[in-house]
């Protein structure tokens, strides 16, 4: 599916209320669109308020300006869902960031801390804020956007890759704790995906050559689209995945075979 074609509705999401962090761009935006096309009400939470508003307006949802590194902002995003739509069923902990490839010994403390603050602590704060509302709804689903780099690292990403290993494992940790609450927690592990963030992964030296290298390392012969990843997130969030929890699902065209 191209980014411009309308998403095809998935079963098992109609009538649900979903919160998507980092929902204003890339994978998050594709997830917002697919959730809405599948009958869910969507709260778009993002640092970029204007883009969040545009995304929410597009799907008839609600926008919240939220920084996932702030416990107060995460609580406010959950409250916006419950106040606006009465309950919360689905949470996509998707906001994330990286830097350009940087040798491990040259990563600044600031960049290292910021990467973990958003990719790990931000996902945890979002999930922590949402658990009470999900329990009130009788259960629900959390999907964390991890990365293939959480399982297999590469040079230049000694902050990002470990942060995604932690994000992948956060999903498993939450899954074992909250299964008894009827809350399923899974992660997707995308390979390089055609979003704004891709520029960082390709680096500045020769992005076209880097892209070719990435593509040739993927058995299906192309990068992921945001829609590929959104499909996996929405499937894991849906009732169709009702017996799946603690799964880290590669969305990688066979990269990790
Ligand atoms: N693009 C890839 O190649 C790729 C591969 C694997 C995993 N991922 C992961 O997918 C997720 C989405 O990334 P994307 O590729 O769509 O990138 P993107 O840059 O298009 O979108 C990221 C979104 O997160 C938001 N965001 C950043 N920091 C935030 C914060 N502190 N609070 C709230 N929102 C914040 C940004 O404003 C942006 O809208 C990230 O977790 C990323 O690590 C991306």
Q: Model confidence at 104, in pLDDT bands (50, 70, 90)?
A: very high
Give pLDDT tens digits for 74-86. 999 999 999 999 9
**Which atom of ligand 1 is closest in space to residue 98's alpha carbon?**
43
Catalytically active residues are 160
CB-ligand 1 contact for 228 (6 Å cutoff): no
Identify the residue whose tokens are 């945890």. Answer: 124
The per-residue pLDDT for 6 is: 82
For ligand 1, say whether the CB of 190 is within 6 Å of any of its atoms.
Answer: yes
The Cα 199–Cα 59 span in angstroms is 27
- What are the structural domain ranges in the chain? 17-251
CA 23 to ligand 1 centroid distance, Å: 8
DSSP state of 224: B
- Distance between CA atoms of residues 64 and 45, nearest Å: 5
Return the CATH number of 17-251, one of 3.10.180.10, 3.90.550.10, 3.40.50.720, 3.90.180.10.
3.40.50.720
Among protein residues, the one with the nearest Cα to ligand 1's atom 41 is 96
Q: Atom 30 (ligand 1): residue with closest C-alpha?
A: 67
Report whether 154 contacts 161 (CB < 8 A). yes
Give rounded-to-5 percent helix, strand, coil for the chain.
Answer: 50, 15, 35
Mean pLDDT of 54-82: 98
């Amino acid at each position: 599916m191209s980014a411009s074609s309308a998403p095809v509705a998935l079963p098992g999401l109609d009538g649900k209320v979903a919160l998507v962090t980092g929902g204003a761009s890339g994978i998050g935006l594709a997830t917002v669109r697919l959730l809405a096309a599948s009958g869910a009400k969507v709260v778009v939470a993002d640092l970029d308020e204007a883009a969040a508003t545009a995304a929410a307006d597009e799907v008839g949802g609600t926008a919240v300006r939220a920084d996932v590194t702030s416990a107060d902002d995460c609580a406010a995003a959950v409250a916006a869902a419950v106040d606006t739509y009465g309950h919360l069923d689905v949470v996509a902990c998707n906001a994330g960031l990286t830097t350009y490839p940087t040798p491990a010994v040259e990563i600044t403390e600031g960049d290292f801390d910021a990467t973990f603050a958003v990719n790990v602590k931000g996902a945890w704060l979002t999930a922590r804020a949402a658990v009470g509302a999900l329990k009130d709804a009788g259960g629900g689903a959390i999907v964390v956007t991890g990365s293939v780099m959480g399982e297999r690292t590469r040079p230049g990403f000694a902050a990002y890759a470990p942060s995604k290993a932690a994000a992948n494992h956060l999903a498993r940790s939450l899954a074992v704790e909250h299964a008894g609450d009827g809350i399923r927690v899974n992660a997707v592990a995308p390979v390089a995906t055609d979003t704004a963030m891709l520029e960082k992964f390709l680096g500045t030296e020769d992005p076209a050559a880097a892209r070719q290298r990435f593509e040739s390392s993927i058995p299906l012969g192309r990068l992921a689209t945001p829609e590929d990843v959104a499909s996996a997130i929405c499937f894991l969030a849906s009732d169709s995945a009702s017996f799946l929890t603690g799964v880290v699902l590669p969305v990688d065209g066979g990269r990790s075979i």
